[in-house]
Amino acid sequence: MPVKTYWLEHAWLGTHVEPGVALDAGADGRIAALRTGVEAPPPGAEVLRGLTVPGLANAHSHAFHRALRSLVQVGSGTFWTWREFMYQVAQNLTPDTYFALARAVYAEMALAGITNVGEFHYVHHAPGGAPYADPNAMGEALIEAAAAAGIRITLLDTAYLSSGFGEAPNRHQLRFSDGTAEAWAERVSALKPRGHALIGAAIHSVRAVPADQLATVSRWAQERRAPLHVHLSEQTAENEACQAAHGRTPTQLLADHGVLGPRTTGVHNTHLTDGDIALLGATTTGTCMCPTTERDLADGIGPAGRLQHAGSPLSLGSDSHAVIDLLEEARAMELNERLRSRTRGHWTANSLLTAATQDGHAALGLADAGRLEAGALADFTTIALDSVRTAGPLPRLGAETAVFAATAADVRHTVVGGRHVVRDGSHTLVPDVPSALSESIAAVRG
């Protein structure tokens, strides 16, 4: 692909909005040059009207949870009753149905401006636990789905070995388990990165990986310098069970087994002690907040501000996909903190966009994404500034408009590796995303 020039009517450059920016995307899929003060589109340039920001990073996804949308909104219940619905959908997944569902979900993400997804993947085997002929058939389906939808993926292959502290997997969880962390490591080592895909690791939770096997998963990631994610203190019940089994918090248990560190991200980090926060900050372990899921499941509001102040970088994820909207996740993190503290302005719009872009990509192992600058990946998205939600404010306040007023519906273009994946609000590779979602969800709901 030859050099392609885009003219950005307005561009967010990390600290401010710049009008009239020309961006050259090279044949290698990276930004070859960025020029400011370009008042009119250069000849032959592709014009992107609105506010262009780096591609958004969805740092925590369970693609198949998209099939639960609305189904789990009926009546009341808890996280644990929600989990029973999740198991039912998981039982109906095959490599083919998961590919179709994930392709549609990742296309929905592209329409929302997401260029990279961290897929926390634990449905590994057939129902009952028997491996497929290709033991990584399900993971490969997700990697192929991301390619078909035109976005990048960090496959966070997840160790899930126990139903609780010292308990064997239940009948639903058998297809999640490799039996031991050593067997998990052997299987996941056969997965190979490719142009649009990185391979990372995940510990489902301290209840799902026995303490004496945590180090095996951590060591696998450390040897490969791969990202390592873990659900952490999402539920008070998990904290109580960990204290009963080990006499310490989940964070302390992870620290004792060498799991924490700058390539590790704790997902949710909701119910933490002061000591937990200090540990995560001191080790620069990241925090991925998923506000729309955390409020949907009534999990609680995590101490994001205190974590960041302690030294834990923040990223954002849509998790269960109650909605897929990283702008809403960024907005919700600030507004949740306002409700809790009854004060405003905990993060600037620039800081929230950084969490949704640069820091999210870094949490997924892509340190060269999330910025509009020469040498970075040519992944970016354009948000309309003339919709019913965004019209009116001055363009120089584009970051504030994007975070506090815009939604995924305002995404006009998404470019990945210099290639248009969403153009004028339409996906270029999946012509009818709503139909793809409807058909693939019907196939797995049974």
Question: What gap in Å lies between CA 390 and CA 407, rounded to an integer?
Answer: 9
Catalytic residue (one of 60, 62, 268, 271): 268
Question: What gap in Å lies between CA 73 and CA 61, rounded to an integer?
Answer: 19
Identify whether 319 is a catalytic site residue: yes
Question: What gap in Å lies between CA 160 and CA 158, rounded to an integer?
Answer: 6
The label of the residue with tokens 């303490």 reads 211
Identify whether 268 is a catalytic site residue: yes
Amino acid at 61: S
Helical spans, DSSP H, in 189-316: 214-224, 236-246, 250-256, 274-282, 291-296, 304-310
Assess contact for 357 and 57: CB atoms under 8 A: yes
Catalytic residue (one of 319, 359, 379, 410): 319
The label of the residue with tokens 């109650």 reads 322
Assess contact for 326 and 112: CB atoms under 8 A: yes
Phi then psi for residue 198, to 5 deg, are -110, 155
Q: String of b and e for 169-204 (b: at least 16 CB within 10 Å)? A: beebbbbbbbeebebbbebbeebeeeebbbbbbbbb
The label of the residue with tokens 């296309």 reads 107
The residues carrying an active-site annotation are 268, 319
